[in-house]
Amino acid sequence: MFKVLLFIFLLFTSLSAKEITEIKDPIHGIRIKLPADWSVRVFPSYVLIISDDTTRFITFRVYPGQNLKKLARTLLQETRFMGGNTTHFKRIKTGLLVRSDLRGYPYVLDPMLPITWGLQGRIPPQNYTSLTYIIPLRRSSLLVTFLYPRGTSGAQIDKMIGIAKTFRFIKRRIPSKRVLIRDPETGDVAASLRIPKGWDFYGTVIPQAPREIHFVASGRGEFVRRDFISRAGAVSPFGGSTMISVNGQSYTSQMPFIIDSVRTASEFLVSLWNSEGGSWNIVEVRKLPKPGSLKALEESARRRLATTGAMFQHQANASILYGGFEASSGGLRKVSLIVGLSTDSFSPGTGMRNFQTNLLVITAQARNPEKAKGLLTATVVGFRPDPNWFLSKMRRNFRDQAYWNRVILGVLDEHNEFLTRTSIAWSNLLSEKTFVKDPRTGEIFQVDLSEGHYWRDPSGEMILGGVREMSELEEVLKAKGWRKLKKSLEGFPEQWR
């Protein structure tokens, strides 16, 4: 059960076009059209588009300057870090095309990816192709990268290119700020997201298992919020009762009914809003097609319950709820995205039925539907769980997940190292600098960037750059006792940690 709930949590790190065809994010300033089996996630320095089976990726990055040679050089460093062993460059009409072969799955794109694979119990592809288009803009360059397993069909690659062509930046975006959510149990940062400037914010981790995140951001009569709602109860021929928990606060109800669809979940949520003094009415309910990975988890939960039911001679079922709805009250609109797990069992001998539903709900409220949908989209695609905290959560909830914990830690270290190396490389590139290292003494120096190699005189007082390999100057320097230095635009390992 926890395994399914953890995977449901991960669904809120991306937004799929199963909800809307054209995804508009007014906070991060992006717009893109996605087919049903693709979703989008936003990071501080890039936008990640990801396929439903988490094997194909598209990234969008913008860097200052239009020097294709410098951009290609730094891109080559990144490719080598990701296990690239072959790289080809080709001039095209719109800029430069860089193709590389990679060894290993590109976990570095998102440290949460190994968690997703671990919960699904699958092994990801290991041989990848990276295809990057470097396109000069007015004062900067756009880097569009396609990553896909070796052997991907031409039709699938064409589909990826078609998706990329729909990507646009929104000029008028909502000014925003980054906020953090901390786990009161550990004091660690659990997640972060961007909200409009001037809004109030409250966020926490519900201390009861499965330790879900709850937050509310509000301002000027509008808000976005994330809630975890649990509903469990029993019905017998003599009556029944229900225990309802909203973000860790529990109370009983004498109205037991089973939430077995997005429609009944929507009606239940509206009843909760109206019990607080509201007057909300459902405008539209949308049951969204379940991703393939979610279908597999649903089937797995059903098999486990069927096995348990056979042992205790009762009928059992499980279903995952995936959808959204829109509600209105006067001049306000609410738009909600729902992902939940519902289970129930029935004992023919006693006539007793037990049921439980866990719902993760993100809701946005605004003065018109489009504004509410935009705020909901921005909240979903910009919500980023912290991998360290998530690892802690898994340790507390799943003591037997040691293998994937090690993978996540390794990927997190790799991701942090990748960001450090990339930052150093770009800083050097923009300032026309590079690092060199004396292999004899271990000393590291930052010098002016130039073509060729760097040499240091025997006394260590002079460094000479721009020496071409196999040149007469190189032979002279060797004869006089000069030593060749190692050079690296991104620095050396002792500088990355």
* Cα separation, 451 vs 435, whole angstroms: 13
For tokens 């006693």, the residue is 350
CB atoms within 10 A of CB 173: 14
User: What's the angle, vertex CA 397, arms to CA 394 and CA 399, rounded to 5?
Assistant: 80
Nearest to 23 by CA among 328, 382, 384: 382
User: Using an 8 Å Cβ cutoff, are 143 and 63 in contact?
Assistant: yes
The one-letter code for the residue type at 484 is: K
Instruction: Locate the DSSP E strands across 288-374.
Output: 315-329, 332-347, 352-366
Residue of higher predicted confidence among 14 and 407 = 407
> How far is the CA of 353 from the CAs of 131, 165, 253, 344, 362, in angstroms?
55, 52, 16, 7, 29
Quick one: average pLDDT of 191-208? 93
CB atoms within 10 A of CB 30: 21
Indicate the pTM of the whole model. Answer: 0.74
Domains of the chain: 30-169+410-427 (3.30.530), 200-382 (no CATH), 432-496 (no CATH)
Nearest to 45 by CA among 313, 415, 375: 415
* Cα separation, 171 vs 57, whole angstroms: 25
User: Using an 8 Å Cβ cutoff, are 389 and 190 in contact?
Assistant: yes
Share of the chain above pLDDT 90, in %: 34
Q: pLDDT for 88-141, tens place per residue?
A: 888 888 888 999 898 889 988 988 888 888 777 778 999 999 999 999 888 889
| Range name among 16-20, 119-123, 247-251, 413-417 with the lowest pLDDT average | 16-20
Q: pLDDT for 332-389, tens place per residue?
A: 999 999 988 888 877 776 677 788 889 999 999 999 999 999 999 999 999 999 888 8
Quick one: how many helices (H) and strands (E) in the chain? 11, 28
Q: Residue 356 gets which letter from DSSP? A: E
The contacts of residue 261 (CB under 8 Å, 6+ apart) are 287, 321
Nearest to 30 by CA among 160, 173, 178: 173
Nearest to 396 by CA among 166, 188, 210, 117: 210
* Cα separation, 164 vs 158, whole angstroms: 10
Question: What values do phi and psi take at 181, rounded to 5?
Answer: -120, 125
For tokens 């030593």, the residue is 483
Residue of higher predicted confidence among 307 and 471 = 471
CB atoms within 10 A of CB 101: 16
* Cα separation, 39 vs 49, whole angstroms: 6
Q: In a 3-state reduction of DSSP, which class is residue 360?
A: strand
- The whole-number pLDDT of residue 20 equals 38
Supply the angle between the helices 68-81 and 402-430 in degrees, to the nearest 10.
Answer: 160
Q: pLDDT for 251-308, tens place per residue?
A: 887 777 788 889 999 999 999 999 888 899 999 998 877 766 677 677 776 777 666 6
Q: 140-149 and 315-329: which strand pairing?
A: unpaired
Q: pLDDT for 129-184, tens place per residue?
A: 999 999 988 888 999 999 999 999 999 999 999 999 999 998 888 999 999 999 99
User: Using an 8 Å Cβ cutoff, are 352 and 343 in contact?
Assistant: no
User: Using an 8 Å Cβ cutoff, are 149 and 56 in contact?
Assistant: yes
* Omega cis (within 30) before 256: no
pLDDT band at 311 (very low <50, low <70, confident <90, very high): low
- The whole-number pLDDT of residue 247 equals 92
